[in-house]
Amino acid sequence: MPRLRKPAPKAAAKAPARLMAWTAFWVFLLDQATKWVVVHWMDLIRLQAIELLPPVVNLRMAWNRGVNFGLLAGLDMRWVLVGVAIAISALVAVWVHRERLGARAHLSAGLLIGGALGNVVDRVLYGAVADFLNLSWWGWDNPYSFNVADISIFLGALGLVLFAGGGKGRASRPKAARTG
């Protein structure tokens, strides 16, 4: 006879959703704080470049009006990209919550959502995303810059790919009882 599980307390059921919300909040805050410090307080907007640990870690001001690596930057897609980022964030939050995915998936969703919303604020305020982190190597001058939001979006998407299949909701079904 199969065992019946006790329903989880409501607080335990809300814990992953809170993890997602808190992760998104702190990623958003960290992203916006680093942008303000580097772009305005350190005056990268005027200086355009600051060497931190040359030649590996540098700050280089870049305004990304397009998508990844500046693709489609020549098109005026500001409001389209704002709408897409908000829609994807909402869809990810609803999907992760409905599927009752585990804590790692909720953490990953929070990373993605917080990063996406950080870049949304840039597009609304500046018309472009403020990118400033540049990693190069001896003999290789990387032409691209990125920010905390970009790192979070990448890690969040990767985490969702890796951890979304291990949920306890509709995505995974209990194994059928073996008969002998």
Q: How many CB atoms lie within 10 A of CB 42?
A: 14
25 three-class SS = helix
pLDDT in tens, 42-94: 999 999 999 999 889 999 999 998 766 555 555 577 799 999 999 999 999 99
**Residue 97 CB partners (closer than 8 Å, separation 6+):** 16, 17, 20
Q: Exposed, middle or buried, 157 (CB in 10 Å: 0-12/13-18/19+)? A: middle
Catalytic residue among 31, 43, 131, 141: 131
Catalytic residue among 31, 76, 141, 150: 150
Per the annotation, the verdict on 131 as an active-site residue is yes
pLDDT in tens, 8-31: 555 555 788 899 999 999 999 999
Per the annotation, the verdict on 76 as an active-site residue is no
Average pLDDT score over residue span 124-140: 92
Are residues 106 and 17 in contact, defined by beta-carbon separation less than 8 angstroms?
yes
